[in-house]
Amino acid sequence: MRRTAALLMTSLLASAAALAVPTAAQARTLVDPPTTGSCVAYPSGPFGVGVCGGLEPRRAWSVWAKCQSGITVSSGLRLGDGTATANCGSGRVYSTWVSIGPMLP
């Protein structure tokens, strides 16, 4: 039951992130590049950790991690400054990165 719920939640978050992050062609028109701030991402055990500071309060972002199992997980969307984690469960994190999205109204 727990595994099924986790799989469904992962699918839902991935779908939401796919809708929130525009394609490269759309990025020039839909996403204003951040004018301030920076983000870093790093693996920490089974987690991909992302930390952003100095972002505009309405700037959307999320952290992503590629897991040992081959799946990619996301933290879900965050706004402004903060820390977020993407959980690979008990598996190892191979890579992690932060995706910066649009300014929300």
Per-residue pLDDT of 31-65, as tens digits, reads 455 566 889 999 998 999 999 999 999 999 999 99
The pTM of the full predicted model, rounded to 2 decimals, is 0.65
Please choose, from the candidates 50, 52, 80, the residue with its C-alpha nearest in 3D space to the C-alpha of residue 65. Answer: 50
How far apart CA 31 and CA 21 sit, in angstroms, is 9
> How high is the pLDDT of residue 35?
60
Instruction: Give the amino acid at 47.
Output: F
> How high is the pLDDT of residue 59?
93
> How high is the pLDDT of residue 52?
94
Half-sphere exposure of 53 (CA within 13 A, CB side): 3
> How high is the pLDDT of residue 53?
93
